[in-house]
Amino acid sequence: MKLLLHCCCAPCSAAILEWLSEQNIRPTLFFYNPNIYPEEEYQRRKDELKRYAQSLHLEYIDGDYRHDLWRQAIQGLEDEPERGARCSKCFKLRLEATARLAAERGFTHIATTLASSRWKNLEQINQAGHRAVATYPELVFWDKNWRKDGLSERRRILLQLNGFYNQNYCGCEFSFR
């Protein structure tokens, strides 16, 4: 398995990366999160993940921060509730970019750490992931439920052990509500 793992932040990634390591899977990390606002928050999350990836000697790919394009993509959905149509569109955008990069670079699988968050709708994430790989027959979306098997508890432990910055909202300006 050659895995490109879309990562939203270090706290959501840590337990997953530990579990993958135990399975002898060394993913390449892809930080593509144009939804994060403001830019200082984006930079803070990116730096934290990059630092953690370096400590684990994992390859890290930095996606472009084009918040303006993200805003265009979700236009008209600003008033949607969390877990609504705006989130579906956001997942779609981010996982399509992940699938495109994976196909270009010869990966066999993609997955996302978004699926570890209790604040996210797992079904929305999985639908977006499966749609993202649909045009790439050589690519599989790995829809593992990263909330099971003690990974949520391990996330909390690793957050403290690593002294991660832990945000209190998903990232977009509309999730402040």
Question: What was the pLDDT predicted at 27?
Answer: 98
As given in the structure block, the two tokens for residue 5 are: 């793992």
The verdict on whether omega for the bond into residue 11 sits within 30 degrees of 0, i.e. cis, is: no
pLDDT at 118: 78
Give the three-class secondary structure for 173.
helix
Tell me what pLDDT residue 177 has.
64
What distance in Å separates the CA atoms of residue 123 and residue 54, rounded to the nearest whole number?
31
Which residue type does 168 have?
N
Q: What is the pLDDT of residue 96?
A: 98
pTM of the model: 0.95
- Helix, strand, coil shares, percent, the chain, to 5: 50, 10, 40
pLDDT means over runs of 10, the chain (177 residues): 96 96 98 96 96 97 96 96 95 98 98 89 97 98 92 91 86 84
> What CATH number should be reported for the domain holding residue 23?
3.40.50.620
Domain that holds residue 13: 3-176
Cβ atoms within 10 A of the Cβ of 170, count? 20
The tally of domains found in the chain comes to: 1
Burial group, residue 19, by CB count within 10 angstroms (0-12, 13-18, 19+) = middle
Token pair for 31: 């930080």
Q: What is the pLDDT of residue 37?
A: 95
